[in-house]
Structure 1
Amino acid sequence: MEEAHAFLERHPDVQGIDVVMPDFHGIGRGKIIRRHELDSLYRNGRGMPGSLFGQDVAGDDVEESGLILVDGGADMRVWPLPGTLGYLPKVGRGQVLVGMCEADGSPFEVAPRTALLNQIARARAAGYEPMGAFELEFYLVDRQTGPNGRRMPATYALTGRRSMQRNTMSVDELDEMSPLFEAIYEAAAASGLTLESLISEYGPGQYELTIRYRDLIRAADDVVLAKRLVRTVARRFGVEATFMAKPFGQEAGSGMHLHLSLGSEGGRNLFADQPDGSLSPLMLHAIGGIRKTIGDTMLILAPYRNSWRRFASAVYSPASDSWGVENRTVALRVPGLPGATRHFEHRVAGVDANPYLVGAVTLAGALDGIRDQSYPGPAAEGNNYEAARPADLPRSWIDAIDRMDGSDFVKRTLGARMHRAFVAVKRAEWLRLELDVSEAEWELYGFVV
C-alpha cells in the first residue's frame, strides 16, 4: 500500500494507470484503471480471466489449451508485482505489472512468470541466487510503407533524414535519433527501469538496448516493461518499434540475449574464474546442461513462424548448441573479460520470445547440468556458422512444436498444465498460417504451374 500511496503523491496529475499482465506471448493483457481505483487494486486485487493464457497471439481462444471456460469462465485475481509501479512521462499514465494468483494466493500455475519463479526457488534451495540481464534488439520503422509497399527504417527524430545504410555502431546515427531515445531513458527512470548502453545495430534502423544486471525474476520483468515503454514512446514520435525476430528477410534478425550467472547468498559470483584463471567448473556444468536440453526448448526460444526466419541466414543468429569463449558465432558465449564478473550469454532466443519462459528453461537446463555434472564438450573456435547444424535440433517451427510436445524436460520445467496449453496454442497458430495462402504464393505459383 505504501508503494501505491507514494506513487499517487508523487504524481498528483495522473488519472490513469495501465494494469499489465504478460501472457504466454509476453503481450500485456489487462486494463486501464482510474486513479481512485489504484488503492483497491493493491488492497483487493482485480479480476481477470485465466483463459487469457489459452489464447493465441491474436487473442483468439484455443480450445485445446484446456483453459477456455474452465469453471464457467470465472475470473481469477491479479495482484501488483512489487517494484513495477511507475510513470510513463510521454504517455501521462502510470503502469504496473500484475501477476495472476490461485484462490489460495499462490502464483497461477499456468502463468509463465510462475515457471521462472519455480526454477528460481529450485536454485535457491540448492544455495544459488540466479542473476541475469537481457539485451533487446529491435527495429524502428515508419508507420507508412514505402513505394514498394514494404516497411522502411524510421526517419531520424532530430533531422527528419532517413538512412538505408547499416551504420553499425554509429554514434552519429544515435545522435540523429537522440530525442526519441532521451524520451525512452526518461520514461525508464520514471518507471524504476535501468536501461544502459544503446547501440546502432547491424540492420538499417536496428538498435540494441541493454538492461542492468540484477536478480533474474526482475530482469525478466524489466524486459516486459522495456518493450512496452519503447513502443509507447516510439508511437508518440510518429514511428513504430517492432520486436519481430526477422522483420526484413535480407537484414539481421533481432535477438534477446540472456546473460546469466549464479551467486551465493552472500553475493559472491559462483561463476567467477578459479584462482589459476581457469573457468568455473560450476559454470561449465551449467553450459553442459543447457546444451543437452536446448533442442527441447527451441519452441520457447523461437515461438513464431517469423522467429525461424532469423535462422535462415547466419548473421549473428546461432541456431545451434555450441559454446565458446569470446565467440559470437556460438549459441552459448562466455564473454572474454575474466575475473569476478564471469558469466555466460545465451544467444539463441529471438526478441519475440517470452523472457519468463526463456529464463525458466535456461535456468532449469543449467541446474540439471550442475546436478548431473554435465561436461559441455570442447569450446568451439573460429567461425561456428560454417559448422554443420546439429542433426538433433528442430529444423522448423512445426518440428519445434512436435519436439516440445514430447519433451519430459519442458513438461517438468513448466508443469504439465502449462506445457499442454503452450503447445496447443502454438499448434493452433501454426495451423492458422498453414491455411492462409499468401500473395507471394499466388505470384509464384498461381498462373504458371
Structure 2
Amino acid sequence: MTSPTGSTADEAKAFLEAHPEIEAFDIVLTDANGIGRGKIIRRHELMGIYEGGRHLPISILGLDITGEDVHETGLIWDSGDGDLRAWPIPGTLKPLHATNPPRGQLLMSMFHLDGAPMTSDPRLALVRQVEALAARGLHPAGAFELEFFLLANERDGEGRVQPASAVLDGRKSGKTEVYSVDHLHGMEPLFSDIYAAAKAQGIPAETVISEYAPGQYELTLHYRKDIMQAADDLLMLKRLVRMQARRHGVTACFMAKPIEKYAGSGMHLHVSLQDDAGKNVFTEAKEGAWSPALLHALGGLTETMAESMLIFAPHANSWRRFVSQSYAPIAPTWGVNNRSVALRVPAGDAKNRRIEHRPSGVDANPYLVAATVLAGIAKGLDEKLDPGPETTGNGYEQGASSSSMPADWRSAIEAAKGSSFLKQALGEDLHRTFTAIKEAELFRVARTVSELDYHLYLHEV
C-alpha cells in the first residue's frame, strides 16, 4: 500500500546504494514521553518497511516512563494489544556515526492498518497543528535549544551524581565554568564526535557552550523553515548525544534537574510564522510598534500556559527546576531581551522576529511541546488575545505574586485533565493517553518509599 507519510521505496534504495557498509538499522517510534521505542532490523529488511510498513503493537504508545503498560490509556487490552502499522518518516533515514558494525537510523510514525493516522502518536499531533496553520496560509518555523549534563558513570561517596571528568585528560572540575571556552576543550573529543554524528544525520548542530552548572552544556540548532524538521532535529540530537557520550565513558543526562543546588536544563523553543509569500508575520511594520500577530500570539501563549504546563514539565523531577532566579520561568510573563520571563522576544533584526518559549525542560517531548505552542499561538490569533503589559526588569519578582501556574506536578496533571484547550491541541485520544500515563507515574512516585524518607524519619519519629 502507499505510505501515508509520503515515504517512498526510492529513498531506501538510494540510501542502500550509497551506504553498502551499513548492516542494520534502528527503527524508532517516539512515545508520549519522548522515548524512542522500536527494533533493530537487518539490512535486507529495510526495503520491506518502505514498501509495506512494519507491524508494531499499539501498546508501545501506552507505556509509562519505565516501559510498563498503562491500562487507563485504552491502548492495551481494550484492543487486545493488536498490531498497527508504522511507516518511515521521509528524510530521517540516516547513518549513525562510529557504530560497529555500521548501523543506520530511521524514525517512524504509527498508523492504523488502513492508513488512517493513529491519534495517540505524538508526532502526528504536531503534523495536525502544522496542517491547521497551513490551511490559514501560515507556516511555523523554529529551532530548539538543547541543555544537558555530562555526568560521571560513578556516583560520589554520598550516592549523588557528579559532573564527568574531562574526556581529554581526566581533569575534574566542580565549578560552574559558565561560558568558559577553556573548559570546553576538555570535552573536545566527545563534541567532535557529536558534530560528526550530527553532520552524518543532516542535523544542523551549531554553537556549544558551558552552561550555568558544573557539567552542564548547551547545543543550539540552526533555525528551520519547517518546525517538523526542528522537532525531528531535537529528537535525533538527544539520541546521538547520549550515544556518543556513552562511547566516551560518560553519561549524557536529560533530566530537568539532576543536581539540586544548581540550575536545571531547559529546552527553549524559538518559533515564528511565515505567510505563503515567505514573510515573517511577527515582523513589525514600523520601528517601535509590535506586530499585532506577535502580540496576539503572545496572548494565546500566556492564556494557555498554566493548563499546558504538564506538557512542558511532564515528570516529577521537572518541577524541581522551577525556582526563582534560576533561569526557569515561574509565571506566564513576556518581555523583550529578558531571560527572567516565560516568553522572550529576543533582540535583533526585525525580519527575524520570533518568540522564545522558555518553560519546557529538556525532559519534555518536543513534538508535544511544539504542537501545544502552535495551538496556543493559533488561539491567540483567532481570538485576538492581549498578552498584557510587557515585563521589564526582574520577572521573578513581578510575576510570582499573581501567577496562575500550577504549584506542582499533581496540580499540573489536574489542570491538564480538565483543559479543553489541551484536548484540542493534542486531540482527544492523545490527551487521554498522555494524562493517563502521567497519572500512573504520579501514583508510582507517591507510593515509593525513597532514601529521603529514611533520612528524615527513620530514627526521628
Give the TM-score normalised by structure 1: 0.98
Q: 2:119 aligns with which of 109, 112, 120?
A: 109
**Identical residues among aligned pairs (%):** 50
C-alpha distance in structure 2 between counterparts of 1:162 and 1:147, whole Å = 16
C-alpha distance in structure 2 between counterparts of 1:391 and 1:103, whole Å = 46
**Alignment of structure 1 residues 167-316 onto 2, 5 Å:** 167-214=177-224, 215-316=226-327
Offset of 1:416 from its aligned partner? 1.4
Offset of 1:410 from its aligned partner? 0.5
| Counterpart in the other structure of 2:404 | 392
**Alignment of structure 1 residues 352-431 onto 2, 5 Å:** 352-389=363-400, 390-431=402-443
| Counterpart in the other structure of 2:47 | 39
User: Given the alignment of the two structures, is residue 72 of structure 1 paired with residue 80 of structure 2, yes or no?
Assistant: yes
| Counterpart in the other structure of 2:155 | 145
Offset of 1:313 from its aligned partner? 4.5
Contact 1:90 1:236 in 2 (8 A): no
Contact 1:243 1:254 in 2 (8 A): yes
Contact 2:330 2:403 in 1 (8 A): no
Aligned to 1:353, the other structure's residue is in SS state: coil
C-alpha distance in structure 2 between counterparts of 1:344 and 1:71, whole Å = 41
Residue by residue over 1:116-167, the C-alpha shift from the partner in whole angstroms, topping out at 9 and shown as x without a partner, is 1111111111110011100010000011112222111111121211111111
Aligned to 2:202, the other structure's residue is in SS state: coil
Contact 2:143 2:230 in 1 (8 A): yes
C-alpha distance in structure 1 between counterparts of 2:243 and 2:18, whole Å = 21
| Counterpart in the other structure of 2:445 | 433
In structure 2, the CA distance between the partners of 1:276 and 1:89, relative to structure 1 (3 Å rule), is: closer
Contact 2:257 2:318 in 1 (8 A): yes
C-alpha distance in structure 1 between counterparts of 2:159 and 2:81, whole Å = 42
C-alpha distance in structure 1 between counterparts of 2:41 and 2:369, whole Å = 30
Aligned to 1:133, the other structure's residue is in SS state: strand
Contact 1:83 1:192 in 2 (8 A): no
Q: RMSD between aligned alpha carbons?
A: 1.1
Larger deviation: 300-309 or 110-119? 110-119
C-alpha distance in structure 2 between counterparts of 1:58 and 1:108, whole Å = 22
**After TM superposition, what 4+ stretches of structure 1 lie above 3 angstroms from structure 2?**
none
C-alpha distance in structure 1 between counterparts of 2:112 and 2:280, whole Å = 35
The size of the alignment, in residue pairs, is: 449
C-alpha distance in structure 2 between counterparts of 1:15 and 1:81, whole Å = 20
Residue by residue over 1:3-45, the C-alpha shift from the partner in whole angstroms, topping out at 9 and shown as x without a partner, is 2122222221111100001100000000000011111111111
Larger deviation: 67-76 or 320-329? 67-76
**Alignment of structure 1 residues 324-339 onto 2, 5 Å:** 324-339=335-350
| Counterpart in the other structure of 2:5 | none
Contact 1:200 1:207 in 2 (8 A): yes
Contact 2:257 2:263 in 1 (8 A): yes
| Counterpart in the other structure of 2:108 | 98
**Counterpart of 1:198 in structure 2: which amino acid?**
V
C-alpha distance in structure 2 between counterparts of 1:346 and 1:371, whole Å = 20
**Counterpart of 2:63 in structure 1: which amino acid?**
Q
Q: 1:63 aligns with which of 33, 47, 71?
A: 71
Aligned to 2:269, the other structure's residue is in SS state: strand
C-alpha distance in structure 2 between counterparts of 1:412 and 1:22, whole Å = 21
Offset of 1:319 from its aligned partner? 2.1
Offset of 1:212 from its aligned partner? 1.5
**Counterpart of 1:226 in structure 2: which amino acid?**
L
Aligned to 2:56, the other structure's residue is in SS state: strand
**Counterpart of 1:36 in structure 2: which amino acid?**
H
Residue by residue over 1:152-205, the C-alpha shift from the partner in whole angstroms, topping out at 9 and shown as x without a partner, is 111112121111111101111112111100100100111111111111100111
C-alpha distance in structure 2 between counterparts of 1:13 and 1:103, whole Å = 33
C-alpha distance in structure 2 between counterparts of 1:171 and 1:90, whole Å = 26
User: Given the alignment of the two structures, is residue 17 of structure 1 paired with residue 37 of structure 2, yes or no?
Assistant: no
Offset of 1:293 from its aligned partner? 0.4
Give the TM-score normalised by structure 2: 0.96
Aligned to 2:351, the other structure's residue is in SS state: coil
| Counterpart in the other structure of 1:348 | 359
Name structure 1 gaps, 5 residues minimum: none
| Counterpart in the other structure of 1:154 | 164
C-alpha distance in structure 2 between counterparts of 1:276 and 1:312, whole Å = 35
C-alpha distance in structure 2 between counterparts of 1:282 and 1:99, whole Å = 32
